[in-house]
Amino acid sequence: MTATWREEAEQLCAARPRHVLFLCVANSARSQMAEGIARSLAPASVKVSSAGSQPSRLNPIAVKAMAEVGIDITSQVSKSVEDIPPAEVDTVITLCAEEVCPVWLGKATRLHWGLPDPAQAGTNEAERLQAFRDVRDELRRRLAVVFRQPDVDAIRYGPAGADDLGAIRALLERLHLPAQDVGGPRPIFLVARARDELVGCVGLERYGEDALLRSLAVAPRLQGAGLGKALYAQALAEAAQSGTRALYLLTTTADRFFARAGFTKIERASVPAAVTGSEEFRSLCPASAVCMVKHLK
């Protein structure tokens, strides 16, 4: 019976690899994103590389998709598999689905995680970007198992204090989320802490019986570990306890996450005037952001 990707990832985690190499044909999208994600998660002692059998160039949509989750891969370049010293590599993960992946002749643990090439998906820019996000998020999910963070099981959740505002603002800015009004009178923040480090946050703005959910953010090294779901659950409980009737939000990247949580897409014209008068609606989020609602009662 073939092992599942999770079983393979857990086995690799236990093996503690020293040099992980990601391979695909062009080394422009999947393997580049995998390299960036692994670098953000792996201990400093682990070397991470990527390469291809027909290297081309770093895909700019991959750069954009990675920047959305706070990972900068602009310094990475496409490389040939022949340029990687085989004696240094102890783990090879191939990512091709439609093509024949590069052959690795060195001695190493080999895993194959076939993922669709996002560069070949979609008929317009929005569809292509979404395809890159899908592959990015799947890689994050798998690599979070390989490079499990030691403090995941020690996360504490609670209300933010005044001394947390600077860390909240820095986290939102790193993830390219609106942060200009952090510290203002309206948003109430809940945070996640790993020891003394603020690693996640979510905001609520109340407007009578309605509320705006905003600024759901998780530190890149812990993305894929369930913190986003946990923070959302904290915010939902807080909203329900305060008697909130409906929870609204705007998102440019996470509409499918919130759809799975029971939110539905709506037109902005159907949102109560008090909510649309918020800074989030008026100026902080672009007009292209998806508007969603979840009715709590």
- Over residues 146-202, the pLDDT tens digits come to 998 877 778 999 999 999 999 999 999 999 888 888 887 778 999 999 888 899 999
Burial (CB count within 10 angstroms: exposed 0-12, middle 13-18, buried 19+), residue 264: exposed
Residue 23's closest CA among 13, 34, 14, 11?
A: 34
Please count the other Cβ atoms lying within 10 Å of the Cβ belonging to residue 136. 25
Catalytic annotation, residues: 24, 96, 101
- Tens of pLDDT, residue by residue over 210-265, are 999 999 999 988 887 889 999 999 999 999 999 999 999 999 888 988 999 999 99
Could you tell me what percent of the chain has a pLDDT over 90?
A: 73
Q: Model pTM greater than 0.85? A: no
